[in-house]
Structure 1
């Protein structure tokens, strides 16, 4: 495959204790996960690029696909990975063959399908620190010789580790799900698979803690004085939560997918993928992180519901012919409704008083596309590749802010009651990829590609929208990525050594992002940030130097930075120049700053993951094993505004598994230690009113437990 891709096997996921898509960065350099206070705002970055947008009206620059079906929003893609066949992280624009364009990259999850002619199953139980209890099981049942049923179920969870003011522990995990698949062969050359899944979560989550007090504003002083009066000492290791509105996160995800593969003869295959998905995520957070009677929210609840339907038809020719191809048609229908209840009161500042508003944002999108990719064998070792995708997006959105109850006092200008409906936008786009592959030797391939990716238009409609902040019919222009890549994929010594190396250069025009306006309280708008670039090198090495010993090293150097972003929000207490002064990096002029030349947020320049496993027989019936992994990331700034106090220094942590298993592989028992050396870090730092908050990470603590796995 002439692209940069990291394939993660189920064995690697199990050995590293990876259960969720949010934990994949532990195994994939160049991939980062950005948690937020609300599930709908969670996001991924690939090669430093992602989307952090406070709106339901934008897609993500990093796509997620399950069984070939692209997911509409990230809120439904932070899921547990159970009974998977493989996970692939594809880097760079992926608009050709994966159903919907993703300008930065794609996470592709392929679940195991029912196996005809096989009856059996497997189970896994883990128990450890913080009452971490993970249970999953699968049963595959042969239904004659032409059909099979596969059922997978799981429940994952652990106690919270943030002490709340109500005596409860927060940032717990409680997720669960069930998936059932039926595969039948109604004819010798036809296979039909139907997959249905429900998964959900119900957690006391999204609790932040105080990291640093620097405020000189009335808001920040209220927060600091109240926190100190309650015995809270801010700091990087503070795990005492302080909030009035108890945080929580819930989600329900239903989907039904139908897969049909038909052999047309002569090596031609026709495939159909039909899918319907319904996702509901909701949460409650306290952005002020205080229970002070002078400054807090009685309610800030957000619920996002979306439905999507996709249909794809694809035909593939025999791959061994001089000219081979894949071609298809794609249809995508999506609608979302995002409702936020806000109830502010007791805000001690002139011009702000009690108000209660319900904000509703809706978005509808229809996408149709035709695509095709050709591979032409010029010689047995030289192949030319060319592909194109022609897409049409048609989208519209609405915003409504309604008053609930009676207002008291003066209402701030950024929460007026109003409604707005956009005009319908239709946009045609062309994506492409072309390149060449050359086999230098039987197991050594060089490749080069050039590609253009596209992410559709959106709308500047956020929960803090005002009439003044909506301009040009609220349109946000499409995001366009152009990427060039060269690489080598190779294997040596009877395929006992794998060496892959990739170099890339990508440019993103009209990058879609959130910008904070200099208002109080803040107003957030969605804008195009001009241009950014991502350049770097990625390395993958896997070796089996001796019987039972396997070693792995994946690494990335990524230089991702803005090249044209002159309307970025300033950070708190940033040095200022008089209005009208030329923009310069690191200074605020008229409430905005330029980020030209600055690195992207949440983009470590260096990252690597290393692994080692040794297994040896200790008797005719048993073997012992030890498995170690280490993940390291260099320092990052958590917010685009480049506040030097919103920084996480570089960190790394090790995991260790020691155990034994039966010779037939049916039973395995292991002792595991996650974060062996108790390395500390946080998953996010942010600032409001001069008070700095952080999101403590569950992975930033040593956890010890035992794992029992079996097959039957």
Structure 2
């Protein structure tokens, strides 16, 4: 076992190659041509004007970071909870178009990559929700410009023209609601200003012919009506070769979208913000490579004829598939919101009304080969899903400079989803045949095409009343309390027509005629629940620059159902709500007149009725079901660092130690295997950290030079959450570290910038996820873009 000091040294070494990374983007120019403060992995200064435009930030001095983590604008160092802040330019510098790039910058944040954004998940402090159910909610809430996204997958699109991302760690249910039991990703886009300006940016990356173009223009229509228009287009051929299509690259994408923002101030007391956005994503992603050869239950290699058509397995270095259906996702989404802020005496009334629509079609090769063979059927899936969400929030915010300050509010949301999932299977008999025999060839003439279609959906309705208040006993000592009352209603339905057979597939509900003589299975379910959650903490300002806090938070996630294609009668029970009790203490420090920021936090949280995939028996076969799996807990320590020894040099980073494991898993029957107590939770590395350096060399000539480096390391993590020790061992992602470098030139006034990057300098290969169930007992790997070294160039013009 590697000791604490050894791992700390390894983490430092992974970023010691820093020549100065994320930094070119970290000190990247604002669209109006001004230089933003250096963006740290954990903290960034707001863009010019943010502090000045924040009603409650009068005491935020130049360079202080202003956040809205508690639904009011506050200096980050005054917020009594662990918050990591990433600037939009730092996000761009990660090379990833969406949220997955933030994982390398926030040690407490992890990400499960899947075949479609519908099934991708975020994890904070080792806690997240992985499920294929249409009636299960995430544990990490995604909020964009004050609007809660009902499905985390909606937030995995391109992050363009972003002001900052706030990562709130630990349960945040008091202010953000039921699907924030592990934390919140709060994304704030750049807002319209009174200055005309904008930017145009283009990038090209090797290793798959990746190209991006994005831009924004800020137009003040009148003194009181401001507008901002943002657009983007990006494409990427992919990092995997498909032999069934003559070596065509797959696992790429083509994205297009935009956003329109209007900000109207009809009076000094009222501001109205209207935001509308649209995106369309066509991803031939994410085909899973077969990373191992055929294996038996003990994990030993076996001989199987299917190996003849599978690319040579090379673990996480495998980069080829042989699939006659290109696994892909077709996605389209749009939405609009209107936020009204109005002063009512000394109070501020805020109303946020939002509506969103979302469609996602998953097309998947589920047999991972180039056709049907005797003993190896072909399995193809097609699953279009649609959804819409309406939400309304109304809150009242008091001034902060009084004995009792508060935020009180009401919230309503309705999120409906419907999916039609079709599964086709081609199989054949080949009595007396040997070797690998394709269906339809001599000796294997009897080809069958069983087919199944299921239509299912869910409607979540949520009504809540919430409040959070601060009692300022003295100028330095205060109590923060809060409470939220939530009432949930969840309705689900499921109907399937199928000729398929087998556990989890055959009809198992009362049948009704479909009009064609084919039986259909039908199920309808409903569950309601009321809950009280809240928080209580103390905060003491040792000085303006040193703040200590500690407290308790009760988290809550609402009831669920396990509604998916293979639903059977044994899986129709309602899944009880998940609750958590979390304790956190922290110390926020600013030293040397702001040159050094060091924030420390320690935490412990216990989750009851943990909603997760749990092994169960169906018709004598062990299956995985989304249910109340039992009790889990997480504990650890975190540190965030920002050092600015001189004006043009910034060093930032963070490190997290997390021990997230099973305390006691629920056992449905005496013979059902369970995940043993002490088993690590999935996507919860014990150690994770990042370190970035960026430097601007002011030459005194026509151009300045920008140098940057960013490194991150994480220890091994469990990807396959299974009761079987062999599967857990084979489903473990080894620890790895990545180093990225950048260098650029730009003029003194930041009107243009040309940046060169190398990503994954040491060509460190790794898997983003591992699953069992490949051909003949093999294991499937998700290989991300950053698992290979590649190069890029970005040009930007500000006006």
Give TM-score scaled by structure 2 length.
0.82
Which of 44, 50, 63 is the matching residue for 2:128?
Answer: 50
Q: State whether structure 2 residue 164 is matched by structure 1 residue 86.
A: yes
Shift of 1:13: 1.9
Matches within 5 A, 1:621-700: 621-641=702-722, 643-688=728-773, 689-700=776-787
Which of 172, 191, 202 is the matching residue for 1:125?
Answer: 202
Report the 3-state secondary structure (helix = DSSP H, G, I; strand = E; otherwise coil) of the residue aligned with 1:362.
Answer: strand
Q: Does structure 1 retain, via aligned residues, the 8 Å contact 2:140–2:179?
A: no
Q: How far apart are the structure 2 equivalents of 1:326 and 1:252?
A: 35
Shift of 1:209: 1.2
Aligned to 1:487: 586
Q: How far apart are the structure 2 equivalents of 1:347 and 1:518?
A: 28
Give TM-score scaled by structure 1 length.
0.92
Aligned to 1:563: 663
Aligned to 1:433: 535
Given the superposition, is the C-alpha separation of residues 156 and 231 from structure 1 closer, same or farther in structure 2, using an over 3 Å criterion? closer
Q: Deviations over 1:598-636 (max 9, x none)?
A: 111111000001000111211243211101111111001
Q: Does structure 1 retain, via aligned residues, the 8 Å contact 2:311–2:322?
A: no
Q: How far apart are the structure 1 equivalents of 2:660 and 2:312?
A: 37
Shift of 1:100: 4.5
Aligned to 1:602: 683
Q: Does structure 2 retain, via aligned residues, the 8 Å contact 1:39–1:283?
A: no
Report the 3-state secondary structure (helix = DSSP H, G, I; strand = E; otherwise coil) of the residue aligned with 1:285.
Answer: strand
Q: Deviations over 1:392-416 (max 9, x none)?
A: 001110111123xxx4xx8324322
Aligned to 1:114: 192
Which of 637, 640, 649 is the matching residue for 1:549?
Answer: 649
Aligned to 1:204: 284
Q: How far apart are the structure 1 equivalents of 2:584 and 2:603?
A: 4
Shift of 1:233: 4.1
Q: How far apart are the structure 2 equivalents of 1:699 and 1:686?
A: 20
RMSD: 2.2
Given the superposition, is the C-alpha separation of residues 308 and 231 from structure 1 closer, same or farther in structure 2, using an over 3 Å criterion? closer
Shift of 1:338: 1.8
Aligned to 1:136: 214
Aligned to 1:573: none
Q: State whether structure 2 residue 473 is matched by structure 1 residue 383.
A: no
Could you tell me which runs of 5 or more consecutive residues in structure 1 were left unpaired when the two chains were aligned: 569-578, 581-589
- Relative to its length, the structure with more strand (as a share) is 1
Matches within 5 A, 1:265-280: 265-266=345-346, 268-280=347-359
Aligned to 2:87: 9
Q: State whether structure 2 residue 74 is matched by structure 1 residue 30.
A: no
Aligned to 1:704: 791
Q: State whether structure 2 residue 496 is matched by structure 1 residue 401.
A: yes
Count of residues in Structure 1 that have an aligned counterpart in Structure 2: 680
Report the 3-state secondary structure (helix = DSSP H, G, I; strand = E; otherwise coil) of the residue aligned with 1:458.
Answer: coil
Matches within 5 A, 1:307-326: 307-326=388-407
Given the superposition, is the C-alpha separation of residues 493 and 349 from structure 1 closer, same or farther in structure 2, using an over 3 Å criterion? farther
Which structure has more relative contact order (CA 8 Å, sep 6+)? It is: 2
Q: How far apart are the structure 2 equivalents of 1:88 and 1:426?
A: 32
Q: How far apart are the structure 1 equivalents of 2:680 and 2:735?
A: 15
Could you tell me which runs of 5 or more consecutive residues in structure 2 were left unpaired when the two chains were aligned: 1-78, 432-446, 508-519
Shift of 1:230: 5.8
Aligned to 2:368: 289
Q: Deviations over 1:264-311 (max 9, x none)?
A: 233x11111110010111111123211242224353011221100000
Q: Does structure 1 retain, via aligned residues, the 8 Å contact 2:367–2:379?
A: no
Q: State whether structure 2 residue 253 is matched by structure 1 residue 173.
A: yes
Which of 693, 713, 726 is the matching residue for 1:612?
Answer: 693
Aligned to 2:454: 359
Q: State whether structure 2 residue 506 is matched by structure 1 residue 416.
A: yes
Aligned to 1:536: 636
Q: How far apart are the structure 2 equivalents of 1:229 and 1:327?
A: 62
Q: How far apart are the structure 2 equivalents of 1:347 and 1:489?
A: 66
Which of 472, 481, 496 is the matching residue for 2:595?
Answer: 496
Q: Does structure 2 retain, via aligned residues, the 8 Å contact 1:50–1:60?
A: yes
Q: Does structure 2 retain, via aligned residues, the 8 Å contact 1:93–1:101?
A: no
Q: Deviations over 1:521-566 (max 9, x none)?
A: 8744221011000000010011011231111121100000000114
Q: Does structure 1 retain, via aligned residues, the 8 Å contact 2:609–2:629?
A: yes
Given the superposition, is the C-alpha separation of residues 233 and 41 from structure 1 closer, same or farther in structure 2, using an over 3 Å criterion? closer
Q: How far apart are the structure 2 equivalents of 1:372 and 1:592?
A: 43
Aligned to 1:575: none
Q: Deviations over 1:436-489 (max 9, x none)?
A: 11011121000001000111001122221112343xxx2000010110000001
Q: How far apart are the structure 2 equivalents of 1:100 and 1:426?
A: 14
Aligned to 1:74: 152
Report the 3-state secondary structure (helix = DSSP H, G, I; strand = E; otherwise coil) of the residue aligned with 2:530.
Answer: strand
Shift of 1:250: 1.3
- Relative to its length, the structure with more helix (as a share) is 2
Q: State whether structure 2 residue 378 is matched by structure 1 residue 300.
A: no
Report the 3-state secondary structure (helix = DSSP H, G, I; strand = E; otherwise coil) of the residue aligned with 1:236.
Answer: helix
Q: How far apart are the structure 1 equivalents of 2:453 and 2:235?
A: 33
Q: How far apart are the structure 2 equivalents of 1:638 and 1:370?
A: 37
